[in-house]
Structure 1
Amino acid sequence: MISSTHVAAALVLVYAIYRIARIGKREGYLPPGPPTVPILGNIHIFPKTWAYLQFTTWAREYGDCYSLKIGSGTMVVISSAKAFNEIIDKNSAITADRPPNYFADQVTSGGLNMVLARYGDKWRTLRRGAHEVLNLAVAKTHRPLQDSESSQLMYELLTIPEKSFTSVQRFASSVILSVVFGKRAPQFTTKEVKAFFHVQHIWEYLLFPGSFAPVDYLPFLKYFPEPLAKWKPVVKEVRDLQRDLYFGLLDETERRKEDNGCYMETILERSKEWGMDREMIGYLGGVLMEAGSDTTSSYLNTLILGILAFPDAQRKAQEEIDRVVGSDRAPEYDDLENMPYMQALLKETHRFRPNAPLIPRSATEDLYYNGYKIPKGTDIIANLWGIFHDPDVYENPEWFWPDRFLDNDVGTKKEKGEVPGQRNDIAFGGGRRVCAGIHVAKYSLGVVAMNLLWAFSFTPALDENGNEIKPDIWDYAQALGSAPNPFKATIKPRSPQHAEIIRRRFVEATPRLQAFEHEISDEDRVVLDKMRAEALQGLKGH
């Protein structure tokens, strides 16, 4: 005879099996998506490389808003401007959160990286500090410094064009180092720049979807011992390297007596007023360095790669620059408003290879789109790559073709008419988490892009047999951001007059740059002195 205890136990077992079997199954109210399997959901098919390409392929099959089941968790991927506008912009109050990020929390003292931090008091404090020092009025005060740094970039491309890729990286890093910490980087091998790119590479690999096990969706994994949890030594390495760099720079800023108007001076002075402790200050400085350095250099190298692969864009941009500026002076930022093609080229670079192809958010309340429910706690991935490479919206989306933005301000097909939610600055994000450094970034990108095309001709590099090396527009690093791998180019000044102006501007920038040359190494000092002496000698020779 079966006892009631046995019956109860059997019922509990059946219910447990039922509940376990439901894990990974897509709820009926969710947007559609790839077929799931029990327990795993879609983990078994989650892309380990080039996630944004697979996400875009799924978007063509399942629509502009589809769902993935990651164990018991849910991820919704949006791949149209309409969905971005409805979910991110119009519902910014409930989509300003980030998904839980165990790795980021472990690295940055409980989530003090402003870009990745959860939406709450910590984030609001960090964002306030960033806004106070990155708003347009303050950003304008740093434009002379950005101009001076760009003059060294132009001089490096004139004298050591074979190092163009790292020269661009040096420029971007030096600008943000100077603006944030008041100290510039004369070389790509400058200690701080070398340390930054080393740790940034590991940091982005750690964060890249698919690089390691999905600890946030399968939290029991965090208790695995280190031999079974390959991310644990990587987390420790990134944390140690970041702290050495960011807090070392903060210490140096505090020691320095001179006031050169850098952001950290303001933040240190007003930290108590804003409720920021030392940990928050150090990580805020670090995240500003991350955001300003890596993205700017990736963008500018993408622009160079684009005009190498599609030379018609270079020809049209230079014809416009010559018409507006001429060859007697270098371009200035205000010239940009009279250059519609250059404006189009800048927009096209954002579209062609967005710096952040995937933007993660999290819903703090239930919301609805196209009749489907996106429940509270759902991870939302804005697939910018999919938005910008939709062949139904953009003519030949894999072409670098600035002309599309001359036809209309958002670059979409003529026959599409007005595309709901489409805007040309989606690359900077949206809602309450739009890029805080947008004003500094737009100035650097605009000034440098104009000067690059005004000063130089860019053609493919030659191999040992004198044949052109075809630019590879798909050779991009496997990282959280979209950055081209190093490539070669033949870079030549467009005339002796252009070369002379480049030398003169670099020499004239010396006093302004020297105000940020604190505690630089003896090697950096020797290199700077030599560069300036050679530039001056070159002017005398002409």
Structure 2
Amino acid sequence: MASFHHLGQSNAPIPHQALHKLSTRYGPLIHIFLGSVPCVVACTPETAKEILKTHETSFCDRPKLAAVDFLTYGSTDFIFAPYGPYWKFVKKICMTELLGGRMLDQMLPVRHEEIRQLLQFLLKKANARESINVGSQLIRLTNNVISRMAMNQRCSDDVDEADDVRKLVQDIAELTGKFNLSDYIWFCKNLDLQGFGKRLKEVHKKFDAMMERIIKEHEEVRKIKKETGEGDSVKDLLDILLEISEDDSSEMKLTRENIKAFIQNIFVAGTDTSAITMEWALAELINHPPIMEKAREEIDSVVGKNRLVQEPDIANLPYVQAILKETLRLHPAGPMFPRESTKSCTINGYEIPARTRLFVNVWAINRDPNYWENPLEFRPERFLGTEENGQNQMDVRGQHFQFLPFGSGRRGCPGTTLALQLVQTSLAALIQCFDWKVNGTVDMEEGISMTLPRAHPLICVPVVRLNLFS
């Protein structure tokens, strides 16, 4: 058992790192009081399996956090909504209308077009020998893909305004991931000792204004189509959500706030995480030139040097797939995911009361030396059939509890398939088309957020390897 002050004593100020250090001292299941809130932290695959598989129904809720609750219109979103009929309803919408196989197939040209636009931008920068902030460009890519899938438009084609939108998404991810005293110390509940209040209000106001503009545009188009009798052959997610909100016979009544919160989830979960994963992968490849070269050889042998790698090629690129898995192992986009128990249960022989907060430390689990040889080493080969450890058969979808990059169970990430399609294809294209010039080696220091950003941006000068746009 540990207490709130132990985190401050750790040499690692980042929560998942600090809790990992505590687990090496106190064991695989830590009971810790964060202020007045009882919490347990699962830091090993065995403990995670017992919680997420054996006792999954006891841990289907998310904790209610002040910043999240404010930004998501009272937790009326999808990611943080309480487990129950409403959550099941919006998950069904998400999986059928945005992330199902039919929709993902329909949106393949969108993903392809946005990847090509990114590569053409990089080509211009390479010809001018100008450096770029890789993370910012990857956020632009993922933001455009998600925006076009959800709302059939980019948030903005104006460069400055589009940058503001991307900054807004990053701010939301950062604010929801910060440790807020009011969530854990009862007498701080109505105090803003850390100064979050003002920034939360500014971010919420900006997001709400953006969503109001987009919703009104959609409503106007829908009104014109209705008056003219024009058919709705292609509907985006926002159109479908608006239809449901207007349908009195719907299984659940969606409010305007529900729609805004839902779209916010799609933006933050779909753009920030995928971009961060690609940035970490590229940083690792720059630091490991032989691995980069091996990936290029595989792409050249399968695709050739006369056309751009495409999404259907990925099935024939096992080493590229292994690079992504190894990136997700060392740099999971969600380093810890929170749950809350709805009823008491027994874990590892300990009684866990209802309303206890749970943190599954994915970052620590993915580095467990009992399951991973040389766990701190970036070695994609561990996921190929060349090593007799069974890891080549390891999937990312939460069935192997020593490897949980997308969570597990009912509240695991619903966007896994989309993330794999977009990230693998984009990363393969970046490897195929460019070398990346940096000063020395790339530092691998982590930042603090709900996701796992880099502490320092990856700044590179792209150097053309193959120009496939001539």
TM superposition outliers: structure 1 runs of 4+ over 6 Å: 408-414
Contact 2:52 2:408 in 1 (8 A): yes
Q: Mark the CA change 1:94 to 1:445 in structure 2 (over 3 Å): closer, same or farther.
A: same
- In structure 1, stretches of 5+ residues that fail to align are 1-32, 415-419, 462-467, 504-538
Distance 1:255 1:421, change over 3 A: closer
Q: 2:237 maps to what in 1?
A: 263
Aligned to 2:168: 199
Deviations 1:385-415 (A, max 9, x none): 101122332223222221111158997889x
2:316 and 2:198 mapped to 1: Cα distance? 52
Q: How does 1:390-409 map to 2 (within 5 A)?
A: 390-407=368-385
**Whole-Å separation in 2 of the counterparts to 1:163 and 1:202:** 21
What is the Cα deviation at residue 42 of structure 1? 5.5
SS of structure 2 residue aligned to 1:428: coil
1:107 aligned onto 2:71: yes
Whole-angstrom distance in 1 between the partners of 2:56 and 2:109: 35
Contact 1:347 1:424 in 2 (8 A): no
Map 1:275-424 onto structure 2 (within 5 A): 275-407=253-385, 422=400
**Which entry has the higher C-alpha Rg, 1 or 2?**
1
Within 2, Cα distance between the matches of 1:363 and 1:286?
26
| Structure 2 segments unaligned to the other structure (5+ residues) | 226-231, 393-397
State which of 482, 486, 491 in structure 1 corresponds to 2:462: 491
Give the whole-Å Cα distance in 1 for the aligned partners of 2:380 and 2:462.
21
CA 1:230 to 1:433, structure 2 compared with 1: closer, same or farther past 3 Å? same
- 1:298-336 CA deviation, whole Å, 9 max, x = no partner? 111111111011112111111111111111222222222
CA offsets 1:356-388 (integer angstroms, 9 cap, x no match) = 101001111122222122221111101111011
CA distance in 1, matches of 2:418, 2:277: 14
Question: RMSD value over aligned CA atoms?
Answer: 2.7
What letter matches 1:65 in structure 2? L
> Separation in 2 of the partners of 1:52 and 1:43?
10
Query: 8 Å contact 1:348–1:402 — kept in the other structure?
Result: yes
For residue 426 of structure 1, give the secondary structure of its aligned residue in structure 2.
coil
Q: Following superposition of structure 1 onto structure 2, how do residues 21-40 of structure 1 map, counting pairs within 5 Å?
A: 33-34=1-2, 36=3
Q: Aligned to 2:110, which of 145, 148, 158? A: 145
| 1:518-539 alpha-carbon deviations (Å, 9 max, x no partner) | xxxxxxxxxxxxxxxxxxxxx4
Maintained 8 Å contact 1:42/1:71: no
Determine if contact 1:42/1:70 at 8 Å carries over to the other structure. Answer: no
Q: Which of 39, 57, 65 pairs up with 1:93? A: 57
The 1:489/1:148 distance shift into structure 2, 3 A limit, reads same
Secondary structure of 2:462's aligned partner: strand
Q: Structure 1 141/315 Cα, relative in aligned 2: closer, same or farther at 3 Å? A: same
Partner SS for 2:118: helix
User: Which residue of 168, 171, 174 maps to 2:138?
Assistant: 168
Task: Provide the C-alpha distance between the structure 2 equivalents of 1:61 and 1:381, rounded to a whole number of angstroms.
Answer: 17
Question: 1:263: how far off?
Answer: 1.6
Q: Deviations for 1:180-220, whole angstroms, at most 9, x for unmatched residues?
A: 111126769352x323333334333433343x31x233233
Cα deviation, residue 176, structure 1: 0.7
Q: Deviations over 1:50-108 (max 9, x none)?
A: 11111111122222221111243211111122222221233222211011212222232
Name the structure, 1 or 2, with higher relative contact order (CA <8 Å, separation 6+): 2
User: Which has the higher mean CA deviation after the structures are superposed, 269-278 or 326-335?
Assistant: 269-278
CA distance in 1, matches of 2:83, 2:269: 18
Aligned positions, number: 445
Three-state SS of the structure 2 residue aligned to 1:94 is: helix
TM-score (norm 1): 0.76
Is residue 469 of structure 1 aligned with residue 447 of structure 2? no
Distance of 2:415 and 2:391 partners within structure 1:
30
SS across alignment from 2:183: coil
SS at match of 2:307: coil
Where 2:121 maps in the other structure, the secondary structure is: helix
Partner of 2:229: none
Q: Distance in 2 between matches of 1:394 and 1:79?
A: 14
Task: For 2:292 and 2:147, locate their aligned partners in 1 and report how far apart those are by CA, in whole Å.
Answer: 30
Task: Tell me the equivalent position of 2:90.
Answer: 126
- Name the SS for the 2:305 alignment partner: coil
Task: Indicate the SS of the match to 1:223.
Answer: coil
Amino acid at match of 2:443: D
Residues 90-128 of structure 1 deviation map (CA, whole Å, 9 limit, x = unaligned): 322221101121222223221123222222344333323
Q: What one-letter code is carried by the residue in structure 1 that aligns with 2:124?
A: T
Residues 180, 130 of structure 1: alpha-carbon distance in 2 compared, 3 angstrom cutoff: same
Task: Quote how far apart the aligned CAs of 1:350 are.
Answer: 0.8
TM-fit CA distance, 1:179: 0.7
Find the residue that maps to 2:463 and give its secondary structure.
strand
State the one-letter code of the partner of 2:208: R
- Does the C-alpha gap of structure 1 residues 198 and 181 become closer, same or farther in structure 2, counting only changes over 3 Å? same
C-alpha spacing 1:100/1:362, structure 2 compared with 1 (3 Å)? same
SS of 2:384's equivalent? helix
C-alpha contact 1:95 1:364 (8 A) present in aligned 2: yes
